Amino acid sequence: MRKPYIAANWKMTKTIEETEEFIRSFIPLVKDINDVDILIAPPFTALSAASSLLKDTNIKLGAQNMYFEENGAYTGEISPRMLLSAGCSTVIIGHSERRQYFQETDEIVNKKIKLARANNLEVILCIGESLEEREANKTFEVLENQLAGSLKDLSLDEITIAYEPIWAIGTGKTASKEQANEAHTCVREWLRKNKDGADDVRIQYGGSVKPDNVVELMSQPEVDGALVGGASLEAESFSKIVAGAVKK
C-alpha cells in the first residue's frame, strides 16, 4: 500500500517569525505519526529558518516553485541548488496559480521538473481542470494533456501527482470523494499506459481539504494524500489533517 503523503502549501503567507512559531507548535503534535509522510512548503524567505527547526524530525521541507535554469541573470528567480542549500528535499511545480497568474505552460513545467530531478529534488506535480472545463465534460482530456506535456521524456521516479480542481482551490468547495477518486483513477490509468512504475506513484488531492473531510477523501482507493492550502496555516488544524490521513 502506498504511504499517505500530506503536504502544506502556504503560498504567500507567513513571515520568518510566523513560520518558526508554527513549526514549534506543530512538531509535538505530529511527532508520533510515522505512517504518513509530512511536508511543509513555506515561502522562500522562511526556508532556511524552517530547515533548522525541522532537522531530525519526521517533517520534510519543500519549496513552492523554482526556475528552469541552474543559474544566471534571472532576477527574482530561485534555482534548484539554492533550494537544496536551504534544506529542501522537494519542490512543488505547476500549481494552478503559477499556470494562471504567471502563464506557466506544460512545456515550462516539464523543463522545471527535468531540472529538479537532475538535482535530486523530489517533485509534486500539480494538475487540474477549471470549472468551465469540468462543466464541458473535459476533465479527463485536460488531465491527460497536462500529464503528457508535463511528464514528457521523464520517468516517474520521485514524482508525486497532485490533482487540484481549480474550482475547489480556496473556494470552500471540495470535490466529492467520488469525484476525487474518479479523477485520480484517470491519472493512474494514463500513467499505466504511458510510464513504468505507475502503481507506485502517489496521487494527492488538493482543494479545500480540511480536518472534517480528510478522512472521507482518504477512504478512496486512489487518494494517497493531500496538498493543503488554507487549512495548513494553523498547526492544530494541519495536525488533524495529518492524523486523519492514516489509511484504515
**Cell match 509522510: residue?**
37
User: What percent of the chain is predicted at pLDDT more than 70?
Assistant: 98
Does position 111 have pLDDT exceeding 90, yes or no?
Answer: yes
| pLDDT, averaged across the chain | 95
Please report the pLDDT score of residue 175 as a whole number: 79
How far apart are alpha carbons 133 and 110 in whole angstroms? 22
- Where do the structural domains in the chain lie, given as residue ranges? 5-244
How far apart are alpha carbons 209 and 198 in whole angstroms? 25
pTM over 0.85: yes
Please report the pLDDT score of residue 210 as a whole number: 95
Please report the pLDDT score of residue 246 as a whole number: 86
What stretches of the chain show up as alpha helix (H) in DSSP?
A: 16-30, 47-54, 80-85, 96-101, 106-118, 131-135, 139-150, 177-194, 214-218, 235-244
Q: Which residue has the higher pLDDT, 134 or 91?
A: 91
Q: Which residue has the higher pLDDT, 169 or 214?
A: 214
Out of 95, 133, 184, 222, pick the active-site residue: 95
Q: Which residue has the higher pLDDT, 131 or 55?
A: 55
Out of 104, 129, 133, 164, pick the active-site residue: 164
Q: What is the DSSP pairing of strand 90-93 with strand 159-163?
A: unpaired
164 is catalytic: yes
Please report the pLDDT score of residue 174 as a whole number: 72
How far apart are alpha carbons 235 and 27 in whole angstroms? 9
Does position 159 have pLDDT exceeding 80, yes or no?
Answer: yes
CATH class of 5-244: alpha beta
Who contacts 141 (Cβ-Cβ below 8 Å, separation ≥6)?
Answer: none
Query: How is residue 33 written as a grid cell?
Result: 505519526
